[in-house]
């Protein structure tokens, strides 16, 4: 859907050049809207629907529009920098056992939920003072029926994440870049959180330099979610694994969650890409994992995963642990078992300089029956060229 911004008058900030008659800027920004439709479990998401698209003037207006109960199409055509808007916090944190390279690329921690003191930081943890940007540790609570869309590669949210929770539903986030959430600290902030939500489509989004999770589905039911064409960029100067790669990437906690992951480019991570727990049904199809020094999948109890048509290139451990159910689409002949419930024969995965992906449990495939399931193509590295911001 495309909407004309020129008809919105004072609701849109065009900038001085346009006001003075620069018609080229008007032409560039004449029509915006959500591109395409979601595949997979969140296929019914419409976001702001037919709401007129408008550009927020500043971070305060962006936050206000995101949080209200009005259906909106919110256009980001510049950077919205939240760093410093809520000040800084100095308090006791820690140097966890994982930081074996302090001062040389390691990641220290904020003591959120007593993480530093409840044993999770490991043996030999060192208490230390940490100073962090306050805005990043809590995401903006996004209301229902919102489309948040970027223009080209200009739509950036710096220093603040987005949280769709507490009953919020029908949200589309497309073609924006979320970055710089206290990347030096574990618990520094999550880029996108869903928790107690439904019908969330995250598409052509880039996430980089995040302190904690790039995407997290919390303990509340996240219901129908589609992650498509996103770039999860783990390149960092502060790594929990001391190797320039982000460990805390994608965490699907699970509570009646239906998660489609399609055509995502997940690179330079070292773990939790994704970690799956609880009652999560995950369809991971045609994604590209590249340069992961640790593990991609970690499937905990209750996790039910179909992984098909994916590429694993330079991934040390495609599947760390499987305490749930995992179908790895092992061969063309075996994959016919998918057709009855997924509507297609599953595609085999591709591996280059990587470990193996095990898992032949097809007993849960009936869980896909009657649901909107994404299509599958042959595994391809071309995803790297099409995923992320500015590629739509």
Residues paired with 317 in a beta bridge: 295
End-to-end CA distance of the chain: 14
Residue whose structure tokens are 């009005």: 70
Quick one: tokens of 349?
């995965």
Q: Which is it for strands 177-181 and 215-217: parallel, antiparallel or unpaired?
A: unpaired
Instruction: Identify which of 299, 357, 372, 306 has the alpha carbon closest to the alpha carbon of residue 335.
Output: 306
Question: Is there a contact between 147 and 118 (Cβ–Cβ < 8 Å)?
Answer: no
383, containing H or E segment: helix 383-386
Residues paired with 327 in a beta bridge: 306, 360
- What is d(CA 65, CA 56) in angstroms, rounded to the nearest whole number? 8
Q: Which of 158, 163, 212, 272 is catalytic?
A: 272
Question: Is there a contact between 272 and 292 (Cβ–Cβ < 8 Å)?
Answer: no
Please, what sign has the CA dihedral across residues 88, 92, 98, 100? positive
With H, G, I as helix, E, B as strand and everything else as coil, classify residue 26: helix
Instruction: Identify which of 188, 162, 174, 152 has the alpha carbon closest to the alpha carbon of residue 77.
Output: 152
272 among known catalytic residues = yes
Instruction: Identify which of 377, 364, 250, 374 has the alpha carbon closest to the alpha carbon of residue 309.
Output: 377
Give the active site residues.
Answer: 272
């Amino acid at each position: 859907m495309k909407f004309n911004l020129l008809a919105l008058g004072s609701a849109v900030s065009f900038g001085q050049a346009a006001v003075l008659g620069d018609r080229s800027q008007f032409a560039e920004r004449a029509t915006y809207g959500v591109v395409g439709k979601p595949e997979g479990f969140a296929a019914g998401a419409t976001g702001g629907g037919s709401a007129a698209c408008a550009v927020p003037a500043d971070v305060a207006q962006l936050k206000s529009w995101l949080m209200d109960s009005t259906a909106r199409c919110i256009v980001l055509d510049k950077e919205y920098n939240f760093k410093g808007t809520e000040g800084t916090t100095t308090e006791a944190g820690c140097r966890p056992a994982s930081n074996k390279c302090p001062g040389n690329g390691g990641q220290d921690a904020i003591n959120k939920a007593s993480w530093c003191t409840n044993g999770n930081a490991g043996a030999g943890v060192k208490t230390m003072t940490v100073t962090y940007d306050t805005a990043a540790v809590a995401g903006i609570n996004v209301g229902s029926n919102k489309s948040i869309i970027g223009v080209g590669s200009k739509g950036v949210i710096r220093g603040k994440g987005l949280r769709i929770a507490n009953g919020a539903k029908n949200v589309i986030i497309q073609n924006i870049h979320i970055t710089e959430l206290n990347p030096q600290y574990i618990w520094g902030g999550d880029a996108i959180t869903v928790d107690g939500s439904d019908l969330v489509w995250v598409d052509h989004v880039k996430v980089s330099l995040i302190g904690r999770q790039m995407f997290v589905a919390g303990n509340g039911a996240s219901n129908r979610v589609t992650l498509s064409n996103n770039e999860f960029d783990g390149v960092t100067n502060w790594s929990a694994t001391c190797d320039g790669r982000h460990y805390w990437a994608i965490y699907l906690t699970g509570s009646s969650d239906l998660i489609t992951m399609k055509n995502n480019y997940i690179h330079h991570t070292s773990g939790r890409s994704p970690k799956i727990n609880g009652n999560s049904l995950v369809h991971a199809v045609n994604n590209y994992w590249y340069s992961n020094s640790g593990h991609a999948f970690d499937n905990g109890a209750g996790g039910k995963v179909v992984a098909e048509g994916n590429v694993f290139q330079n991934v040390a451990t495609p599947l760390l642990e499987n305490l749930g159910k995992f179908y790895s689409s092992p061969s063309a002949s075996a994959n016919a078992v998918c057709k009855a419930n997924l509507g297609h024969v599953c595609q085999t995965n591709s591996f280059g300089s990587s470990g193996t992906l095990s898992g032949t449990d097809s007993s849960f495939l009936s869980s896909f029956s009657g649901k909107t399931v994404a299509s599958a193509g042959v595994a391809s590295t071309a995803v790297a060229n099409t995923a992320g911001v500015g590629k739509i």
